[in-house]
Amino acid sequence: MSVANQWQVGDVKITRIVEMEIAGGTRFILPDATREACLSIDWMAPHFMDAQGNLIMSIHALVVDTGSRRIIVDTCVGNDKERNIPNWNHLQTAFLDDLVAAGYPRESVDTVMCTHLHVDHVGWNTMLIEGTWVPTFENARYLIAQDEWAYWDANEDDATYGPVLADSVRPVVEAGLVDFVDSTHEICDGIRLEPTPGHTPGHVSVHITSSGEEALITGDCIHHPVQMTRTDWCSSADYDQAQGRQTRDSLLQRYAGEDVLIIGTHFATPTAGHIKVLDSGGHWLDVG
């Protein structure tokens, strides 16, 4: 894997497996992020914004390898899924082959951590075999925050994106592979959940600590680095935009200037950096 797709945090190796990375098409998620508004936030170029002001975003999974545990955080959109977004409908990507190429065949993964249950974070939980959705990571325990499951189990919504729970979540629940956990759950020594609600009711981020080094995998509490400067630009997919902004503000204040690597679940290449304070106010992501 290239340097841009892998990070070492103490004794923990984190590897990014990309399903897709595109410029543009983000206005439905961040409606305030017009080209004109984004062009004035010049620190985002060239990594997170192109020359025309289009935001660049990625959909990827992150494999957290402790040496004794192999944890995959979020599982993208997935192949063969019936989705109401044309670019996500019936995908045929090389995601599983890319996992193998990175040294992580699906059988070797022991934990799947879903930061939340949106369509682009649960897709590869399952795969289609002879017309049936079966668990992709058959030897893994799937971890879902209890509050997150309780909400979606009672508020299933096929109309927005398609039958997400039916094809990507319920099959692993029914297979007995899911553990419903607290939002501060410790996955293993040095890897714990951090509650970051707002985008969804039970949304969590993943905090890694190893040999004096730290990292945070954001999930969608920050969809795009532009929201570090404009925390008021809320996602159209947020369950509670006010709570989402409060979570973002709190996270930025907590980690600004700290030696904590922030790895964005939708941040384009190079994906990770450190939160710094802008002279003009607000924050930015330093990837240098």
In sequence order, what are the beta bridge partners of 129?
132
Q: Of 158, 190, 199, give the one whose Cα is nearest residue 74.
A: 199
pLDDT at 9 over 60: yes
Q: What is the mean pLDDT of residues 50-61?
A: 96
pLDDT at 26 over 90: no
18: left (phi over 0), alpha (psi -120 to 50) or beta: beta
What pLDDT shows up at residue 280? 86
Q: Which range has the worst mean pLDDT, 21-35, 106-120, 136-150, 247-261?
A: 21-35
pLDDT band at 27 (very low <50, low <70, confident <90, very high): confident
When the pLDDT of each residue in the chain is averaged and rounded to a whole number, the result is: 96
Q: Domain tally for the chain?
A: 1
What pLDDT shows up at residue 227? 98
Q: What is the mean pLDDT of residues 43-67?
A: 97
pLDDT band at 1 (very low <50, low <70, confident <90, very high): very low
How crowded is residue 239: how many other Cβ atoms within 10 Å of its Cβ? 18
**β pairing state of 213-217 and 260-263:** parallel
What pLDDT shows up at residue 2? 40
What pLDDT shows up at residue 268? 97
Domain span at 173: 3-286
What pLDDT shows up at residue 3? 46
What pLDDT shows up at residue 282? 92
Q: What is the CATH number of the domain that holds 275?
A: 3.60.15.10
Q: What is the pLDDT of residues 56-112, one digit of tens each?
A: 999 999 999 999 999 999 999 999 999 999 999 999 999 999 999 999 999 999 999
- The 3-class secondary structure across the chain, one letter per residue, is CCHHHEEEECCEEEEEEEEEEEECCCCCCCCCCCHHHHHCCHHHCCCCECCCCCEEEEEEEEEEECCCCEEEECCECCCCCCCCCHHHCCCCCCHHHHHHHCCCCHHHCCEEEECCCCCCECHHHEEEECCEEEECCCCCEEEEEHHHHHHHHHCCCHHHHCCHHHHHHHHHHHCCCEEEECCCCEEECCEEEEECCCCCCCCEEEEEEECCEEEEECCCCCCCCHHHHCCCCCCCCCCCHHHHHHHHHHHHHHHCCCCEEEECCCECCCCEEEEEECCCCCEEEECC
Percent of the chain residues past pLDDT 90, beyond the cut: 95
What pLDDT shows up at residue 4? 59
130-138 CB contacts, 8 Å cutoff, 24+ apart = 133/167, 133/168, 133/171, 134/171, 134/175, 135/171, 135/172, 135/175, 135/177, 136/75, 136/96, 136/106, 137/72, 137/106, 137/107, 137/109, 137/112, 138/106, 138/107, 138/177
What tokens does 222 get?
């920050």
Percent of the chain residues past pLDDT 70, beyond the cut: 98
Q: What is the pLDDT of residues 168-225, one digit of tens each?
A: 999 999 999 999 999 999 999 999 999 999 999 999 999 999 999 999 999 999 999 9
